[in-house]
Structure 1
Amino acid sequence: MDKIIVFFIEFYRKFISIFSYGSCRFYPTCSAYAIDQLNCNNTFKALFLTIYRILRCNQLFEGGFDYPVVRRDFSDIKYGKIDVKYWFIKTKIKDKYIIIRNKNDKQR
């Protein structure tokens, strides 16, 4: 289900959003936020947080930086060479991390 939703988001980014003037008030954009949430959370939580974000993306809210925050358990870390897709930055809340996409990642 996540792949279908990501497909529609990518379709929107490539074919529909070119007719608008890029008015997202947040960084990362709402579509990038949605893809990051879908990759790091379960589908229903990601959809809820994405819809909440889209509802706040208007002139009544300030906007600014709003990175996705996820809950992770890193107690079973395995060592070896890995492909880094996201950086997880610890927040003050236990087991919650801010997601930042790797700059070298091909998905944009």
Structure 2
Amino acid sequence: MRALLTRLLIFLVRGYQYVISPLFPPTCRYTPTCSQYAVEAVTRYGPFRGTVLALWRLLRCHPFARGGYDPVK
């Protein structure tokens, strides 16, 4: 079940990367991008903790953020 949920989440993020993201200018303040961070977090930590880490990253990515290199730890 965990592997299926992981695949589903990665599929959804990849769909966003290939379909929706190209329609907007790049705005992510971090490297890797927030969507790539989400894929790495879900792959490394599983669907539950990975989703929490990805959501926390999205909350930190705003116009006043310092940004920079922020890998999944």
Q: Give the TM-score taking structure 1 as reference length.
A: 0.62
Which of 50, 56, 61 is the aligned partner of 2:65? 61
Highest RCO, 1 vs 2 (Cα 8 Å, sep ≥ 6): 2
Which of 5, 15, 18 is the aligned partner of 1:14? 18
Which of 29, 35, 38 is the aligned partner of 1:31? 35
- Say if 2:38 and 2:54, in contact at 8 Å, map to a contact too: yes
Structure 2 unaligned regions, length at least 5: none
* TM superposition shift of 1:42: 2.2
**Larger helix fraction of residues:** 2
Q: Give the TM-score taking structure 2 as reference length.
A: 0.90
Query: In structure 1, what is the Cα distance between the partners aligned to 2:43 and 2:56?
Result: 17
The root-mean-square deviation of aligned C-alpha atoms, in Å, is: 0.7
Structure 1 unaligned regions, length at least 5: 70-108
2:46 aligns with 42
Which of 5, 23, 30 is the aligned partner of 2:9? 5
Q: Is the partner of 2:18 in helix, strand or coil?
A: helix
- % identity of equivalent residues: 30
Q: Which letter maps to 2:43?
A: N
